[in-house]
Structure 1
Amino acid sequence: MKPIPEDWPRISSSLFYVDAPAAIDWLERAFGFQTRLKVEGADNTIVHAELAYGDGVIMVNSSGRHGLHQSPRLHGGVNTQTLTVYVDDVDAHCAQARAAGADILQEPETKNYGDDWGTNRTYGAQDLEGHRWWFTQRVFTPK
């Protein structure tokens, strides 16, 4: 494989929001993302933003910029993807997200996925425009 750009993961997702500036602020407060780049456009829009969490990066943009990308808010909350993020402490992360107004879809729960995968503690949340997220913590790694 050819090298990827420095400080960029091999796979990244883009999310679209009706109010992308508010979404960026909320994602920082609720889920602990850090904005590393934000390109603002006319009329309070985001042309392109990069938010980091550890070594992962998501891109955030305003809905409808190209006519094809839209927020779940515009479609009754219908999602075509969910995002999974590994965190260090699922329970503390869930409490932070709840305090910021995240809709907790599944309370933190520990599940054993067998000898090959191990055990994870996970919770599910929905952000302010309906994107679905899973946050997970590895609690047992098989040998």
Structure 2
Amino acid sequence: MAEHRAKGLSSAICYRDSKAAFRWLEAAFGFEPLFVLLDADGNLAHSEMEYGNSTIMIGNEWSDDHRSPANLGGKNTQTVHVQLARGEDIDAHCEAARAAGAEIIAEPETQFYGDRSYRAKDPEGHIWTFGVTVEEKSADQWDAEGGFTTKTRLDD
């Protein structure tokens, strides 16, 4: 169990049934359990999982502002992007997620910027995007292919 965190970001995702979600995320997406905090009644008070160098917090709905899409008509206010390591088989990852019950809302496809990605909904409707770099491209290359202009900062 990690006692101290390095500088970085993590997401906290709310579920109606956080125990089921915790188990499902391990089986479907390969997230690794770090720890769970159980209250005196055995309810999940807080939990954390890791994927690579990232942490995701899984918990229950706990206020009107912290709800599952299952209680919001399926609406999401954020999605989580998960980057697989170079060489990992994203198509197999997608099939494992599908077999575990994920709704695949965008099949694996190679993007103009060189990643192959897919999108899935978990059983409560959270949207997850998974990607893996299959071809390293420069900003000039993806700008030419996608019709964009890449900059470091916005102009004033």
TM-score for both structures, normalised by structure 2: 0.79
The CA deviation at 1:16 is 0.4
The CA deviation at 1:37 is 0.8
Instruction: Write the distance in 2 (CA, Å) between the matches of 1:47 and 1:99.
Output: 29
Give unmatched runs, 5+ long, in structure 1.
Answer: 114-118
Corresponding residue number in structure 2 for 1:131: 126
Higher relative contact order (CA 8 A, sep 6+): 1
Rg (Cα) greater in structure: 2
Cα displacement string for residues 27-70 of structure 1 (whole angstroms, at most 9, x for unaligned residues): 00000001101012255532110010111110011112x45311
Q: Which amino acid in the other structure matches residue 101 of structure 1?
A: G
Instruction: Write the distance in 2 (CA, Å) between the matches of 1:44 and 1:126.
Output: 27
Q: 1:77 aligns with which of 65, 74, 78?
A: 74
Corresponding residue number in structure 1 for 2:136: 141
Corresponding residue number in structure 1 for 2:100: 100
RMSD: 1.7
Instruction: Write the distance in 1 (CA, Å) between the matches of 2:126 and 2:49.
Output: 15
SS at match of 1:79: coil
More strand by share: 1
Instruction: Write the distance in 1 (CA, Å) between the matches of 2:15 and 2:40.
Output: 15
Aligned residues with identical type, % of pairs: 44
The change in CA–CA distance for 1:89 and 1:6 in structure 2 (over 3 A counts) is: farther
Q: 1:40 aligns with which of 38, 45, 53?
A: 38
Count of residue pairs brought into register by the alignment? 133
Give unmatched runs, 5+ long, in structure 2.
Answer: 139-156
The change in CA–CA distance for 1:74 and 1:44 in structure 2 (over 3 A counts) is: farther
Instruction: Write the distance in 1 (CA, Å) between the matches of 2:6 and 2:47.
Output: 13
Corresponding residue number in structure 2 for 1:122: 117
TM-score for both structures, normalised by structure 1: 0.86
Q: Which amino acid in the other structure matches residue 110 of structure 1?
A: T
